[in-house]
Amino acid sequence: MSDVETIPVIDLGPYLAGETGAMARSAAELRFALTEIGFYFIVNHGVPASQSRGVFDQAARFHAQPLDRKMDIRIDRHNVGYLPMRGDTLRTSTVQAVTRPNFNEALFVARDLPADHPDVVVDRRFRSANRWPANLPGFRKTVVAYCDTMERLVQKLVPLYALALGLPAGYFDIPFAEPQYKLRMTHYPQQDPSIDDEFGIAPHTDTSFLTLLAPNEIPGLSIRTQSGRWIDAPAIPDAYVVNGGQLLQRWTNDFFLATPHRAINRSGGERYALAFFCDSTIDWPIAAVPTTVGPDNPPKYPTTWYTDYMIQYQQRTYDLLADPDRRAAG
């Protein structure tokens, strides 16, 4: 574990099988990955390849629809629904001045709350019902089942995060008993290689505690290492890419990294991506864990909550949801 210019691969098989010492070994590998690089791959994670491929098929099926049909479920203030091509601009990037909107379109799906759920009834922010496409039989069932699988995988990962931080393995069990999550089903058209400053997704850091990016045969993701060098993420069969984000930084007082990354589609064809962004339950206070603070290392961030943080991020990022004055200003 000495190469800080290569995304490490963590084999979860022994840990998930309950082998003696495997949990501690995986936690040590995760600690190295998140303090030195900010990204890692996981293999033998237990997610059937057929399940993720099925969701890729559904993503392509959704994005192949006419624009007006997709706009019927246009993204709303809860950040669920369809984000059209060039609908967001990553002005929050810390490593590049971003002026062009992202060259992608996406469908966002959250936990599938029923219409009579108390949070849905009162229109609580980021706790809405999903906006599902009409006339796509089987779409909802396939996507919800995948989100359920991703949630269970996150709940198997967070004990490793706890151990990697010197905490009891169960430290995150309650905060992640019903986590907030979003699945982003993204379509990246082929890009014009002559345009240097256009990105599928511009350099940015995620907001999440962790992000799970589904195995993808078509490359496009690059990450910025701590040396400032951009490296391409290889396409490893059946391996998920995992990274931390801004809220993980707050949880760990900057001990774990939120590494800038970008996506550019130079494949010569269409590219799709499935990113599962996950955070703690919506009411849990986000503050530095005890092992990351001390007399000589006070908290770097005030305690915050998911809703407050995401409202601010959404206002800065999603052009379709910006205030009218800013939209008019372009």
Is 102 part of a structural domain of the chain?
yes
* Residue 48, helix vs strand vs coil: coil
Residue 290, amino acid: P
What is the model's pTM?
0.94
Helices (H) and strands (E) in the chain, counts: 9, 12
- The total domain count for the chain is 1
Please report the pLDDT score of residue 246 as a whole number.
Answer: 96
DSSP single-letter state for residue 77: T
Q: Which two tokens stand for residue 195?
A: 């345009």
pLDDT at 95: 62
Q: What is the pLDDT of residue 132?
A: 98
pLDDT value for 324: 39
Q: Which residues face 210 on adjacent strands?
A: 278
* H helices present in 132-174, as ranges: 139-164
* Residue located via tokens 């091509």: 85
Asked if 76 and 131 count as a contact pair (C-beta separation under 8 A), the reply is: yes
CATH of residue 13's domain is 2.60.120.330
Averaged over successive runs of 10 residues, the pLDDT of the chain (330 residues) comes to: 84 98 98 98 98 98 97 96 85 64 94 97 97 97 98 98 98 98 97 81 94 96 95 96 98 98 94 98 98 97 97 77 40
Let me know if residue 1 belongs to a domain: no
Asked whether residue 2 is domain-assigned, the answer is no
d(CA 87, CA 75): 10
Under a CB-based contact definition with an 8 Å cutoff, are residues 293 and 312 in contact?
no
Rounded Cα distance, 152 and 212, in Å: 12
Query: Helix, strand or coil for residue 194?
Result: coil
Work out the number of other CB atoms within 10 angstroms of the CB of residue 67: 12
Question: Is 115 a member of any domain?
Answer: yes
Q: Which residue has the tokens 């390849």?
A: 49
pLDDT value at residue 193: 75
What is the Cα–Cα distance from 103 to 279, expressed in whole angstroms?
26
The Cβ of residue 237 has, within 10 Å, a number of other Cβ atoms equal to 8
Q: Which domain holds residue 149?
A: 9-329
- Measured in degrees and rounded to the nearest 5, phi and psi for residue 182 equal -135, 135
Task: Examine residue 300 and state whether it is found in any structural domain, yes or no.
Answer: yes
In a domain, 3, yes or no: no
